[in-house]
Structure formats: C-alpha cells, structure tokens
C-alpha cells in the first residue's frame, strides 16, 4: 500500500513517443510525450497539445524543425514506464504470486484511494 501511495504522487509514469511529420517535405521527428507538463524541460521546449474542452492534458517535447501542430501518431512504450518509478524489489510486488495473494488476518479491504461518498 505504501508503494501504491508513493507511485500515485509521481507524475508522468508512462512514456509515450509521438511522431511529428510534414507530408510535403517528408520531414519526420519523434519526441517524448507526457500526460502533464514535465519539469525536466523548460515550458518553451514543450508543446501543449491539451484539449481543455475534453479535460485532457497532453505535452510533448517540442520538435526541432516542425511545428507542434504537425503531431501525427503516438505510441505508449509499456516496458519503459515502471522501471524508473519502481525499484527492482517493488516491481516484484506487482507480479504473481503477490497480485493475487490473500493476506492473513485481513478483515476489511485495503483502500488505496480516498473513497468519495455516494450521494443519497
């Protein structure tokens, strides 16, 4: 539970790579993208591709030769995400047999996120 709480507070846990392309010049660039602005890059080196009306945030590293509007495709790289967030021992906690392990003496469920009261 401690690991889940700590990881929940870390932004940009997933690594995405997006292609930026210009059909006319056939120029393409691939840049790393995130679900929120990253503190590792100055804001002027990021493209804010968020859609406010959909309440969705999306930021990419700004391409060197293409405009931010030239974004074409994005892919998630699943293998590159948890390695930087979790230590080797912590990764084991999210693999079998631990993910389906019954905890002895546990009588109530473990709540990782805060419960939101249901309106009556």
Q: Which of 62, 78, 51 is nearest to 18 (CA)?
A: 62
Query: For 73-103, what is each residue's pLDDT tens digit?
Result: 998 866 655 446 777 888 777 777 666 666 6
Can you tell me the distance from the alpha carbon of 58 to that of 37, in angstroms, rounded to the nearest whole number?
Answer: 8
SS (H, E, C) 35-73: CCCCCCCCHHHEEECCEHHHCECCEEECCCCCCHHHEEE
Residue-wise pLDDT for 36-56, tens only, equals 888 888 999 999 999 888 888
pTM for the full predicted model: 0.59
């Amino acid at each position: 539970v401690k690991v889940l709480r700590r990881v929940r507070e870390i932004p940009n846990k997933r690594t995405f790579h997006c292609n930026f392309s210009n059909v006319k010049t056939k120029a393409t660039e691939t840049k790393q993208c995130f679900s929120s602005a990253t503190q590792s890059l100055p804001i002027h080196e990021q493209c804010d591709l968020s859609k406010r009306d959909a309440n969705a945030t999306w930021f990419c590293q700004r391409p060197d030769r293409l405009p931010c509007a030239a974004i074409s495709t994005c892919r998630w790289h699943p293998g590159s995400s948890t390695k930087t967030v979790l230590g080797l021992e912590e990764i084991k906690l999210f693999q079998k047999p631990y993910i389906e392990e019954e905890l002895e003496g546990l009588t109530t469920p473990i709540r990782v996120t805060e419960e939101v009261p249901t309106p009556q």
